[in-house]
Amino acid sequence: MQTDRGANAVRALRIRPHRNRLTAGLVWHAILAAFMSAALPGSARAVDIWSPAAVVELFTSQGCSSCPPADKVLSELNSGHRILGLSMHVDYWDRLGWKDTFASPENTKRQWEYARALGERQVYTPQAVVNGQNHVVGSRKSNILSSIRSQDENDAGLSVPIVASVTDGVLHVRVDGAMTPDSTLYAVYFDPRRDVEVKRGENAGRTITYSNIVRRVEMLGMTGADGIDAEFKISDMEAKGYKGCALILQQTTGNGLPGAILGATVLSDL
């Protein structure tokens, strides 16, 4: 392994090779989000259901000194119901003196799979993957927004509605099969915010705020000709112990790698 601290201010891990219209889209998502916001009967609080215009996965690490600026950018992106930013903590920098408290080998595996799908021979932190289609340095907010805008202008952004509603404590999810070839629906559970005091390693002495930290991913089903029409008890989702859940519809490439994200719906305040 080699690290690279070049002009891009990223931490890189190298291996041998192995083998729409943004404004209109935002208006549509806002209308759909308002329609789907649902109160749970008999409960003093509500499950907020909304659909983002883009999904940004930030591969980050508490042990990487280049990552805090990107973590801040992700928090800014998550400040409204426009973009869903997810913190994907990787574990390959744990050897630098501080074990990331949110890291998982599954997140690291997903980042490598993106690298293969996008034709790259390395992974790095902080890396932002936009709608599963391209990557940019995670601390460069303008580049992330430009990527979202470019995808939307080329009709390559999120285009498939994941229609969700809550009735009597049951979440009903529907996806149109005609619009979703070779796609899988996932439930991505996350903690909305955590402050972490890093005591050792490159970020020793710093308290870093993380947003939408991915803690658990479950496959809910694959789309067929009939799409997906399923129900889930909110109480079962709450029992997992996380305050947020994103329903993400993602294509799979012919090599079994993650492809484009087609749609997303978020459940907040579980």
CA distances from residue 63 to 78, 137, 209, 211 in whole angstroms, order as listed: 22, 17, 14, 17
Q: Which residue has the higher pLDDT, 259 or 6?
A: 259
1 located within any domain: no
Element (H or E) spanning 152, and its range?
Answer: helix 141-153
Q: Which of 101, 119, 22 is nearest to 60 (CA)?
A: 101
2 located within any domain: no
pLDDT of residue 126: 98
Q: DSSP class of residue 227?
A: B
Q: Hey, CA dihedral for 28, 225, 56, 89, is it positive or negative?
A: positive
Helix (H, G, I), strand (E, B) or coil at 10: coil
43 located within any domain: yes
Q: Judge whether residue 39 has pLDDT over 70.
A: no
Of how many residues is the chain composed?
270
Per-residue pLDDT tens over the stretch 151-174: 999 999 999 999 999 999 999 999
- Euclidean distance between the first and the last CA atom of the chain, given in angstroms as a whole number: 41
Per-residue pLDDT tens over the stretch 49-107: 999 999 999 999 999 999 999 999 999 999 999 999 999 999 999 999 999 999 999 99
For the chain, give the mean pLDDT: 88
Half-sphere exposure of 54 (CA within 13 A, CB side): 33
Residue spans of alpha helices (H) in 5-117: 22-36, 68-77, 105-117
Helix (H, G, I), strand (E, B) or coil at 28: helix
pLDDT of residue 106: 98
3 located within any domain: no
Write down the number of H helices and E strands in the chain: 5, 15
Token look-up 């219209």 returns: 21
6 located within any domain: no
172 located within any domain: yes
5 located within any domain: no
pTM of the model: 0.86
Domain that holds residue 72: 11-268
Quick count: other Cβ atoms within 10 Å of Cβ 41? 9
Q: Judge whether residue 34 has pLDDT over 90.
A: no
How many separate domains does the chain show? 1
Q: DSSP class of residue 181?
A: T
